[in-house]
Amino acid sequence: MAALTANKKVLNLSESLGLNEVAKRNIIDADKIYCGGINAVDYLGEVQPASDTLGLRVIGLADLYIDNTDDGETTESKKGIYLLDNSSTYPLARLNIGQTCYVEDDQTVAGSSTNLVAAGIVHDVESRGVWVDMRANSLAIARGKARNVIVDITATTSTLTAAQMFAGNVIVTAVNSSATTLTFPACIAGSRIGIQRLNASAGYDVILQAGSGDKILGSAAAGTASNTTDAISEIVYIESIDETDYVLAAPVAKDRAVWVASS
């Protein structure tokens, strides 16, 4: 099934429970939002048709067609339980009820995808398609249950992207044959990422470098948190709680003490 090129009527199982967002959001420049399409936002908070793109978060369904070709348009996304198309590549079955489903395009959900963008929780599956629970709490649960995207870093220095941080289900593994420095982008509130050292040899330290003015795991501004322990680490999850601070996130690694912040 291809992405939408026209408006579509989508059945809503919970019409009485569906709620529009309180505040409208900006639409990404020069894009079109089709009624009946899945809406997603990027790390800038701009709405666009959902796709299998790293760093997008589904926020609901569009109930209006909006052409933002001239820019400046805004939109709101409705929450509910909607009947969406089932993937032919990774089709969902009734055994998937209660599990996270993923975005294939802005009208199709799947049991898997490349970038594992959570579309919601599978409520039911029938011949017409998949009933997807896209209420606010269900979307949060779906993102929390989404499978991880693994990014192997082999360079001695690498800058993490805002999309990787905002995705929420990315785990970065440092597999380089020497010390590795991972530089974080400017802090984005609500972002989350996992970091793991996969080389136990001496000298293969992993250094997490915060951006200008930001703090990481209790470091000074623009400081670092370093793992100099010669062992394969557990995954340490890091999230931003505001626009300047990266802190430990749940689940907290048992060996969290191996990450030492600069003073």
SS3 31: coil
Residue 16 pLDDT greater than 60, yes or no: no
Residues of the chain with pLDDT > 70: what percent? Answer: 97
Strands 100-105 vs 118-126: parallel, antiparallel or unpaired: antiparallel
Identify the residue with better confidence: 17 or 64: 64
Q: How many degrees, rounded to 5, is the angle at CA 69 between CA 64 and CA 72?
A: 75
Q: How far is residue 100's CA from residue 148's CA, in Å, rounded to a whole number?
A: 12
Q: What is the pLDDT of residue 178?
A: 87
Query: For the segment 118-131, what is each residue's pLDDT rounded down to a tens digit?
Result: 999 999 999 999 99
Q: Which two tokens stand for residue 172?
A: 């970065």
User: Hey, how many other C-beta atoms are within 10 angstroms of the C-beta on 241?
Assistant: 13
pTM for the model: 0.92
> What domains lie within the chain, and their CATH numbers?
25-145 (no CATH), 149-256 (2.60.120.640)
Question: Is residue 14 pLDDT above 70, yes or no?
Answer: no
